[in-house]
Structure 1
Amino acid sequence: MTPLTYLVALVDGGGTVPPELGAVRRLVERGHAVTVLAEDCTEPDVRATGAVFRPWRQAPNRPDRRPENDLSRDWECGGPLRLLDRMIATRLVGPAAGYAADVRDAIVEARPDLVVCSMFALGAMVTAETAAIPFHVLMPNVYLLPAEGMPPLGLGLRPARGVVGRLRDRAFGGFIRRSWDTRGLAGLNRLRSQYGLIPLTTLWDQVHRAHRQLVMTSPGFDFPAAFPPPVRYVGPVLDDPVWAAKPWAPPPGDGPLVLVAMSSTFQDQTACLQRIADALGTLPVRALVTTGPALDPSALRAPANVTVVAAAPHREVLRHAAAVVTHGGHGTVMKSLAAGLPLVVMHHGRDQADNAVRVTARGAGLSVRRTASPAAIAASVRRILEVSSYRAGAARLGEVVRRDAGSDALIRELETVPGPAAPA
């Protein structure tokens, strides 16, 4: 195939970065030229793919993943509407003009055939649309936008059943859509007007203007729905982040190994991790807790059978593990299922309740409140280790995840580039 030129507008969403950069690495390996606009905290990860790193200059740019440099600080919000306001102001619409300006400058220099955008990078989509360069949107999650038949996101709901269920979805879904539009649509349309584009009817219409919305999960994991024509399921990317490439060996002993993997970003999870460690200390298991770059391992008191480290290569650890305790981030869930392991999910926010309900609906694990006591956590871990149906459910789902992760759907869609339209 003739080599193409790509410009990737990457917004650091924590666990979304490894799969998005996995897509970049695959493009580079196939001989394409890729420039990645990203935050300084992701520079080592970007350069490891072989792509050209270009920092955000006018858009937000975090130097590291420490909590004090987190723009959204969603753990402080205390309620869904405050969280929505914070996301609009710090992630989606507030910084959109900066993303648009940086992408405009990068387009002049890189002259890409295709712009590939993180879902938060609405401003990057505006600039690509103005320049008549086709753009794709990466979604390394379940499908996050409203769709007929999909339960409203963020609430951890199963698909609707019957009249009451459909009324539930209509009421909650309508309220959520209006809330996004009331807070963000006017600001986005002002930016579009500055770039000579027509106004949109809803906030998420900006994403729907993409040539492709690439959903980087297994359709067998997500719930079915009626999707817009640009939506394509392309399977998960199971790459570990660069910072997790540490030497690792299983801890000594004969008990089953339990991996504890919470968010790679700060979500005020220290107290939850401590209760998990205390719970595992009461069980005949070996436990490995990885805190990620946002937490210091020394913040936790570890029982004798619990090892706490900043990072470990999860794909290697999972080959030795019997179960996983996690916040329910999509990347951790996918890798755990690919290894055929049942999960205890203690969701903290974001899309995690929705990932948790997809796990429990398939019998691949349990969902436990993040505030659960050590005794309740221990009981849940003991249950998924002892009740064989959870491992069987995880194995069934894992077979689908591995199949879709091994397909060429992602690279095939990224290499399908339509011709340019007339400039706006």
Structure 2
Amino acid sequence: MDIVLATLDAGGNVAPMLGLGVELAGRGHDVRVIGHPQQRATFEAAGLDFHPYAHATPWDPIAPKSTLPGLWGYIHQLTERAKGEDLVELARDASVVVVDCMLLSALDAAGSAGLPHVALVHTFHAYFDGPWRAGPIGIASRLKGLNPRRVWAECDAVVVCSDPSLDPAGARAWPDTFLWTGPVQPRTEPASPASPPRVLVSLSTISFPGQRQVLQRVLDGLADAPIELVVTTGPAVDPDELRVPANATVHRFLPHDEVMAGCSAVITHGGHSTSMRALAHDLPLVIIPMHPLLDQPMVGKAVEAAGAGVTIKKSSKPAAFRTAVDTVLDDAHRDAAAAIGARIRAIDGAVVAADRILEVAREA
């Protein structure tokens, strides 16, 4: 089958689409990906055929942005008609197209062109159907004729790549077109903690206001703790700008699975991808939401309610981060994280998602 995946460069949304593409290609299907030009290396490294948007507005998620211009730029990325036009041009003969659920214009264009199409949800659907839809993004989208609920309802399937027991929407009744697959991520094993305890700190690859300052307060607060801190900054923060204590190392990039395999806990911003990776390794979390309009506060609340972590404000004093880490290193938080980890490892989200997408293609 000929399958086209439509994505955008927005951080944690990329990994599930990439994992799905690899799974489909591994089954012998022809997979083409359309996305922002800077995503080429990521998808081609996985052996996938990549096509950049020809007419879409450029977007750099790493460049620092003030709140209002950043928000309006983001809304434009999700609703501009050019992405839909580029997708339809590429996918005229495709068996099925899979589109990031945020790309409302592309989903709408696929439906209008009569293409079998699937929306891929990369985090809690409760976030997209709640704060995202009710907030500035949803309001602006409706003004442009792109009501999110209508666009998703018109899809042949909506695949939610999350754990239905953590996603607040997972317990509600949904149409048969909706399916929770579990997270789409590489298969993992429970961590074997090192001694002294190793704690990974990873806030985001996307630039958020105050990110460097938060990392510095985390480092300062844990400087005297009997732990090993491993910090990854991604492209958003220059490691040379941080004061690094003796018990810490700071890196632009490290393979998280390799680091997590020896960790006892993870400090993160609450992005769905990093949080699910940690839980799949049975690791409890300290979650520092970096942006109130994104899914991070909801992910933090769900993890905390499950007993697998704590949420702390990004404005917290250094000492509060030490208290939070001490809290999640206890047996209760480790046991709760391990219960979630076992559930995530029991289901291969990429396999379940690919099966559903191919079912849509066969039924078209």
Same fold (TM over 0.5): yes
The answer to whether 1:235 aligns with 2:177 is no
Question: What is the Cα deviation at residue 324 of structure 1?
Answer: 0.6
Equivalent residue letter for 1:274: Q
Question: What is the Cα deviation at residue 46 of structure 1?
Answer: 0.8
SS of corresponding position for 1:15: coil
Matched residues, number: 354
What's the TM-score, normalizing by structure 1? 0.78
Give 1:98-247 correspondences, 5 Å limit.
98-108=82-92, 111-144=93-126, 152-153=130-131, 177=134, 182-188=139-145, 202-223=147-168, 224-239=171-186
Equivalent-residue separation in structure 2 for 1:217 and 1:394 (angstroms): 15
Q: Note the alpha carbon deviations across 1:379-399, whole angstroms, 9 max, x for none.
A: 1111212x2111111111111
Equivalent residue letter for 1:373: K
- Mean CA deviation greater in 411-420 or 228-237: 411-420
Equivalent-residue separation in structure 1 for 2:289 and 2:268 (angstroms): 8
Unaligned runs of 5+ in 2: none
The answer to whether 1:92 aligns with 2:83 is no
Q: What's the counterpart of residue 264 of structure 1?
A: 205
Give 1:9-28 correspondences, 5 Å limit.
9-28=6-25
The answer to whether 1:48 aligns with 2:48 is no
Q: What's the counterpart of residue 414 of structure 1?
A: 357
Cα 1:146–1:297 shift into 2, 3 Å: closer
| Preserved contact between residue 181 and residue 349 of structure 2 (Cα < 8 Å) | no
Question: What is the Cα deviation at residue 181 of structure 1?
Answer: 5.5
Equivalent-residue separation in structure 2 for 1:220 and 1:204 (angstroms): 22
Cα 1:330–1:314 shift into 2, 3 Å: same
Q: Note the alpha carbon deviations across 1:159-194, whole angstroms, 9 max, x for none.
A: xxxxxxxxxxxxxxxxx63865643223236xxxxx
Moved over 6 A (4+): none
Q: Note the alpha carbon deviations across 1:275-311, whole angstroms, 9 max, x for none.
A: 1111121201100000012222112111011100001
Equivalent-residue separation in structure 1 for 2:158 and 2:78 (angstroms): 17
Equivalent residue letter for 2:26: E
Question: What is the Cα deviation at residue 36 of structure 1?
Answer: 0.5
The answer to whether 1:362 aligns with 2:306 is yes
The answer to whether 1:66 aligns with 2:8 is no
SS of corresponding position for 1:183: helix
Equivalent-residue separation in structure 1 for 2:29 and 2:51 (angstroms): 17
What's the TM-score, normalizing by structure 2? 0.90
Equivalent-residue separation in structure 1 for 2:152 and 2:244 (angstroms): 44
Q: Note the alpha carbon deviations across 1:297-354, whole angstroms, 9 max, x for none.
A: 1121110111000011111111100111110000111011111111110111210001
Q: What's the counterpart of residue 311 of structure 1?
A: 253
Question: What is the Cα deviation at residue 262 of structure 1?
Answer: 0.8
Equivalent-residue separation in structure 2 for 1:346 and 1:91 (angstroms): 26
Q: Note the alpha carbon deviations across 1:376-422, whole angstroms, 9 max, x for none.
A: 1111111212x21111111111111111236731121121124687x
Question: What is the Cα deviation at residue 226 of structure 1?
Answer: 2.1
Equivalent residue letter for 1:384: V
Equivalent-residue separation in structure 2 for 1:254 and 1:105 (angstroms): 55
Cα 1:320–1:145 shift into 2, 3 Å: closer
Question: What is the Cα deviation at residue 107 of structure 1?
Answer: 2.3
| Preserved contact between residue 12 and residue 42 of structure 1 (Cα < 8 Å) | yes
| Preserved contact between residue 238 and residue 335 of structure 1 (Cα < 8 Å) | yes
